[in-house]
Chains A and B, each alone.
Chain A
């Protein structure tokens, strides 16, 4: 099975290789194409990934400058035409700054940069990203962010909940969700949200960090396997 994936590079992106490894692993070794942020058109693709990092040095706000990059017009057109876009960590911040997902990512409530394992609960399974998991499944992921505190107004949060757009929530290893299991102050413990059409996913944790036993875990693998199953011809 072969997936045509593209990874967008901004100045300061640093997680593109990990993402490429995860995508190649589930796609018969086919490497994703790397797309520089100054590009204005895209090759034919099944999936666009905005990977983690510190685009433009996190100046002004995380993702603010990247969201205005030339390539983002093409990424937005791709999504509006029904394309699949995955944003991880800084990629999630860019998607919110670009208005492609609602809400914003604020400074972690504890002000500390978090580089650690955490558990999250799968809240919905009707997307290519989440179909490989069971509803309510607890998976282990890696956090590596200073600004992962998800914020949206109450009406937006209620709408996201009502429409099943909360994809993942921070949880304890046994699956409880409470203030004690919330590492960064995110509203309602939200770790990731998905668009209404289930094609644009943004999440702060790094599923690409756990796709091989040598990495310490494989809990991220079902996400990438699901992407290939859903998209590869």
Chain B
């Protein structure tokens, strides 16, 4: 199965990249843009066939490597 891990900077951690994207969008004429946050998505192909176990495995991977929980939070979705 596939696990999709979404990693985002935690609220309160400055995201200069997101801010730069927001400024660029305003420069392009898009109105009404509030806070912009940029993160990353990591797709994992897993041999595991049990959704619960696949999710637990992906969460362990996120805790160990994919996210730095000092500054980032993550969400795992199994599809």
B16 and A110 within 8 A (CB): yes
Give min CB distance, B23 to chain A, whole Å.
11
* B66 beta carbon closer than 8 Å to chain A: yes
Contacts known (A60-B66, A64-B65); A149 close to B71, Cβ less than 8 A: no
**In the complex, number of A-B residue pairs with CB atoms less than 8 Å apart:** 36
Give min CB distance, A223 to chain B, whole Å.
27
Interface centre among A61, A65, A68, A108 (most CB of B within 10 A): A61
Give min CB distance, A107 to chain B, whole Å.
6
Report the bound CA distance from A60 to B7 in whole Å: 10
Of the residues B9, B14, B17, B68, contact of A64 by C-beta under 8 Å: B68
A108, closest chain B residue (CB):
B16
* B70 beta carbon closer than 8 Å to chain A: yes
Report the bound CA distance from A106 to B9 in whole Å: 10
B68 and A97 within 8 A (CB): yes
Give min CB distance, A28 to chain B, whole Å.
40
* B13 beta carbon closer than 8 Å to chain A: yes
- Cβ–Cβ < 8 Å partners of B70 in chain A: 96, 102-104, 151-152
Report the bound CA distance from A65 to B68 in whole Å: 11
* B25 beta carbon closer than 8 Å to chain A: no
Interface centre among B17, B65, B70 (most CB of A within 10 A): B70
Give min CB distance, A99 to chain B, whole Å.
9
- Cβ–Cβ < 8 Å partners of A109 in chain B: 14, 16
Binding site for A on B (CB under 8 A): 9, 13-14, 16-17, 20, 64-66, 68, 70-71
Given contacts A109-B16, A149-B14, 20 further A-B contacts (CB under 8 A): A61-B68, A64-B65, A64-B68, A65-B65, A68-B64, A96-B70, A97-B68, A104-B68, A104-B70, A106-B13, A106-B14, A107-B16, A108-B16, A109-B14, A110-B16, A111-B17, A111-B20, A151-B70, A152-B70, A185-B16
- Can you name 24 A-B residue pairings with CB atoms under 8 Å? A60-B65, A60-B66, A61-B68, A64-B65, A65-B65, A68-B65, A96-B70, A97-B68, A102-B70, A103-B70, A104-B71, A106-B9, A106-B13, A106-B14, A106-B71, A107-B16, A109-B14, A110-B16, A111-B16, A111-B20, A149-B14, A151-B70, A151-B71, A185-B16
